[in-house]
Amino acid sequence: MDNNSPELDTIFLAFADSTRRAVLRRLGDGPASVSDLAAPFDMALPPFMKHIRTLENAGLITTEKVGRVRTCELNPEKYAAVEDWLKEQRQQWASRYRKLDQLLKQLKEKDK
Amino acid sequence: MKPDLHFSFQTDMQSNRLTIRREFDAPKDLVWDCYTKAELLDQWFAPEPFTAKTKSMAFEEGGHWHFAMVDPDGNEHWVRFDYKSITPKDGYRAQDAFSDANGSINRDMPVSTWDVTFEDASPRTLVQINSTYETPEALQEVIDMGMKEGMEATLSGLDRLLAKLS
């Protein structure tokens, strides 16, 4: 991945909103039309479409218009970038804490 | 070491927060010392392959810990923790920032606030760290940097391997 990762910026902004996260969760169950996705939200269509576009620009979803219906689908590859970072963080903490386990063990033995 | 020590790592994107919870097989006093004394912090605080090296430490409200994460090539990445509030043996709040070798905070880099709590779960101790960034943008920046550093660490590891092989 590119070092500056502009892609990741848009991905994280896309995640940083509860409506967009709900849409992503819903799309986890399979493709859906914009009107189906909008139904649970008390929101006019134009602002809802803005959320859809943010998700699309981040590459998290793809959309396709057939006739008058626009269908959205999840793009699972894009999740990988965020997941990689979180995995890395988790590993760093696990690594630190393995060292701390060792240190605590030594200190306890010294105390005896 | 017991294999069943609880460890959880969670992200709350909405509040730009990472939560790390971990159990330790030691009494609270000892765990507290490991988090608050420089000579002990130096022995564990940097994840592999880094080592931590303290330049100065004043664990008191208004004081700070200034240290470097040193990579295997000897490159120093300076960090400064400013202690905002301390409740002895129970927890502390600190600001985590990047700095230079003189201890000046780099204001261009994202800063996070750490809330650390220590809970007696006799004979174990449960430690929770909440690391909160001010904005989603700040969290993104850290992620971008982390990815860059990860890449550099991988590349320098490759350099060493190649040097060994040639």
What mean pLDDT do residues B135-145 have?
71
Mean pLDDT of chain B, nearest integer: 86
Which of A36-40, A90-94, B38-42, B67-71 shows the lowest per-residue confidence on average (mean pLDDT)? Answer: A90-94
Q: Is the pLDDT higher at B107 or at B119?
A: B119
Identify all chain A residues contacting B24, using CB atoms and an 8 Å cutoff.
97, 100-101, 104
**Domain span at residue A63?**
6-111
* Tokens, residue A99: 């060292």
CATH number at residue A77: 1.10.10.10
- pLDDT, tens digit (0-9, with 9 covering 90-100), for B78-103: 999 999 999 999 999 999 999 999 99
Q: What is the 3-state secondary structure (H, E, C) of A59-83?
A: CCEEEEEECCEEEEEECHHHHHHHH
Q: What are the angstrom distances between the C-alpha of B139 and each of A9, A15, A49, A76, B82?
A: 9, 12, 26, 22, 19
A89 contacts B34? CB cut-off 8 A: no
Angle (deg, nearest 10), helices A18-27 and A45-57: 70
ipTM above 0.90, yes or no: no
CA distances from B75 to B44, B48, B78, B138 (A): 18, 14, 10, 24
Q: How many domains does chain A have?
A: 1
Candidate from A85, A93, A103 with C-beta closest to B146: A85
Domain boundaries, chain B: 7-165
| Banded model confidence at residue B110, pLDDT cuts 50, 70, 90 | confident
CATH architecture of B7-165: 2-Layer Sandwich (3.30)
B139: which chain A residues are within 8 Å (Cβ-Cβ)? Answer: 12
Residue A2 clears pLDDT 50, i.e. is over it: no
Nearest-CA distance from A72 to chain B in Å?
A: 23
Beta strands in chain B (DSSP E): 7-12, 17-24, 51-57, 64-70, 76-87, 91-98, 112-121, 124-133
pLDDT at residue A49 tops 60: yes
In a domain, A1, yes or no: no
Name the DSSP letter for residue A100. H
Q: Please indicate, yes or no, if residue A35 is contained in any of the structural domains.
A: yes
* Residue A22 near residue A40, CB atoms below 8 Å: yes
pLDDT at site A10: 66
pTM: 0.70
Are residues B148 and A3, on separate chains, in Cβ contact within 8 Å? yes
Q: Could you tell me if residue A78 is inside a domain?
A: yes
| Average pLDDT score over residue span B34-61 | 95
Note whether residue A104 is domain-resident.
yes
Contacts of B22 in chain A (CB under 8 A): 93, 97
- Residue predicted with more confidence, A82 or B162: A82
Q: Give the highest mean pLDDT range of A52-56, B144-148, B151-155, B158-162.
A: A52-56
